[in-house]
Amino acid sequence: MLSFVSVGLLGLLSLSIPVGIVLFLLGFGIDQFFSAFPLTRGLGSMVWSTSENAALIAIPFFVLLGEILVRTGIAARTYSALDRWVSWLPGGLVHANVATATMFSATSGSSVATAATVATVAMPQADRLGYDPKLFSGAIAAGGTLGIMIPPSINLIVYGFLTQTSIPQLFLAGLLPGILLALAFLAVTAAVCLVNPKLGGERRTFPFREMLLGLADLLPIILLFSAIIGSIYKGWATPTEAASVGVAGALAIAALFGGLNTRMIGEALIGTVRVTAMIMLVVIGASFLNFTLSAAGLSQELRGFLEGLGFGPLQTLLVIVAMYIVLGFFIETLSLMVITIPIVVPIVISLGYDPVWFGILMIVLIEMALITPPVGLNLFVVQSARRGGSIAEVMLGAIPYVLAMLAMVAALIALPQIALYLPMAMR
């Protein structure tokens, strides 16, 4: 059955069939060839129970929040403010790419939205100031990956739903690794530009008064993040309720800055429907595949295979990490996550690892897949915002940040408390 799933998955994806459909087809195939009783009889109940889950209502709210921020110019103001504070560092404006992506990640929940927003704002600056296109664009692609680590994260919501893990605990667990990864990106940028100053462009300084005035443009993002995450951690709101608070806050900020109008709301709603429909098709398909895999006994088969290798828990975990790195070259990130969770997470838990910790480790590996060719989605998002050049330049520029992510993977394995400290402290 394991070979059937692997060959079927790669074969169907190679035909450019949408991932949600692929998940359903694999579920039907498992039911047909490996189940002693017809599992498809439970399909209607499975689709309904998945669709009505209240935790998933948070997804369209967070998508809408990101759409509003993108379309009202708040991201451009954030970028300009951070530029005044970090452009004196080795690497200059490249640091603003990472810093803006970090701030935007704290409200958008989406890596693609984060990368697209920062790329749209930053690329004209790169052309005007003569920055090297490789490192500049690579930093944007890497910074965008923080959108699925720093809470609120749509991917963490999906992981929590599929594994029945506490979403507030996952949000807490992702906060410190997300901040550390952002700092690692800044450190990598500085190190690369110290070795080769030509990559960093012009280092600029601003009067301290301008720097202080720029802080006012950071307040909207800070207030939104505080309202969303604070209400969850204080127990005042569920993630879904906090997401609705965030949308209300984003609309209020849009009105304050003069960006609230019917055209913007219409475009934001259409964008939200498109993204949410895609995510829900994948999630429902994953739920059905999860059901058929469990009923047909694939988890036990895979566990038996790994046990037959004679590896200990750490060696088995390293095999799983290597599997994610390789699959990340070829499979889109959300799809990779929902396809592998039903198979991998039960094995990881049986080895004695914390599901909250593994969720964060998985997210780092998923982030890496966003900036590794040939399917790294953020690479294509950033390239689409450029006025010329090849995507190979973006790929080369992302390499130092891939190494930083590998270092974070090693750190999480060696020191699980990086992810577990805040969840344990807040219990």
Confidence tier at 404 by pLDDT (50, 70, 90): very high
Cα–Cα nearest to 406, from 330, 321, 348, 344: 321
Return the pLDDT at 410: 96
How confident is the model over 166-189, as pLDDT tens digits? 888 998 899 999 999 999 999 999
Cα–Cα nearest to 136, from 148, 147, 146, 123: 123
Confidence tier at 399 by pLDDT (50, 70, 90): very high
Return the pLDDT at 229: 79
Kindly state the helix (H) or strand (E) to which residue 114 belongs, with its residue range.
helix 111-129
Percent of the chain topping pLDDT 70: 89
Q: Is the pLDDT of residue 303 over 70?
A: no
Determine the longest span between alpha carbons in the chain, in angstroms: 74
Return the pLDDT at 407: 96
Return the pLDDT at 364: 94
Cβ–Cβ under 8 Å, residues 128 and 92: no
Return the pLDDT at 173: 93
How confident is the model over 212-242, as pLDDT tens digits? 888 888 888 888 888 887 887 777 887 778 8
Return the pLDDT at 179: 92
The segment with the largest mean pLDDT, out of 269-273, 348-352, 381-385, 415-419, is 415-419
246 to each of 62, 66, 148, 151, 231, how far by Cα in Å?
Answer: 8, 10, 17, 13, 10
Q: Is the pLDDT of residue 319 over 80?
A: yes
Percent of the chain topping pLDDT 90: 16
Specify the higher pLDDT residue, 21 or 191: 191
Return the pLDDT at 15: 73
Confidence tier at 326 by pLDDT (50, 70, 90): confident
How confident is the model over 4-46, as pLDDT tens digits? 666 776 677 667 677 678 778 887 887 777 766 666 776 777 7
Cα–Cα nearest to 109, from 169, 157, 76: 157
Of 160-169, 269-278, 379-388, the range with the lowest mean pLDDT is 379-388
Tokens (6 digits) for 160: 């929590």
Cα–Cα nearest to 401, from 187, 89, 133: 187
Rounded CA gap, 103 and 98, in Å?
9
Residues 6+ apart with CB under 8 A from 416: 354, 357
Return the pLDDT at 257: 77
Give me the mean pLDDT over the 52-75 stretch. Answer: 77
DSSP 353: -
Q: Supply the mean pLDDT for the chain.
A: 82
Return the pLDDT at 155: 86
Q: Is the pLDDT of residue 203 over 80?
A: no
The dihedral through the CA atoms of 411, 417, 419, 422 has a sign that is: negative
Give me the mean pLDDT over the 43-62 stretch. Answer: 75
What is the rounded (10 degree) CA torsion for 12, 325, 105, 337?
40
Give me the mean pLDDT over the 368-387 stretch. Answer: 78
Rounded CA gap, 120 and 372, in Å?
21
What is the secondary structure of 375-404 as a DSSP string? T-HHHHHHHHHSSSS-HHHHHHHHHHHHHH
